Structure 1
Amino acid sequence: MNRPVLKLIQEVDTRWNSTYLMLQRLFKERQSVGAALKTLKTDARPLSSEVYDTADACLQLLGPFFQATVELSEEKRVSGSKVLTFGKLWTEMLLKRGRQGMPQRMLQWRCSGT
């Protein structure tokens, strides 16, 4: 595939942003992951396009939260106005996504895999 070798990222229970980074890497490397699962002698089945669609929806929903987390974490002192601005933007984004049916798609996906 002539691409740089990248490892998949494993989530850390105490860091929500690791879940975002894990999904981001998995989505970005979906072709490589699928090819590897096909060639390896394993019982693991390749992930379906529906799973990748759900991962993409999660990334779209969580992206602004991840960006804000990174930005706020870089500052030694965060002003209240910045936090309030992010809160307003998040509320508007969630309302917009709710009108587009995003939460229903998200709720159909079960993290437990059952």
Structure 2
Amino acid sequence: MENRRTLQTAYILAGALFTLVGLFLIVLQLSTEGGFSSYSLTPLAMGWMLLCLAYLVSQSTNGKADLKAIRGQASFWSIVLTLVYITVALILTETNVVNWSVTQLLTTLSSLIIITLFTFMALFSRK
């Protein structure tokens, strides 16, 4: 039990640190460039992932079958929403609403996938 509590504390501290770094980057970009860059989403996504893992550690039991079912459901819905994200990104880029480079698009999509997957894992793990 003590090991689980230590792991949860480490996840919370690291998640808070990454979230603060991401928020600092967003504030810095908005104040200097006047625009939003998608590169600051990566620390936010990592922070969100770590905070969701802290929640999952507190919710986890010894049942590996439950964890496998949660991962399966979360992966399925994450794939469905990833297809939606890609469709929206294609529509926005083809209609010239946004003018992103390939690396900005991939960074944004990967950050959204991380956020979606771990959010669904936390939602499906609720008892």
So what's the TM-score if we normalise by structure 2? 0.37
Higher relative contact order (CA 8 A, sep 6+): 2
So what's the TM-score if we normalise by structure 1? 0.40
- Say which structure is richer in helix: 2
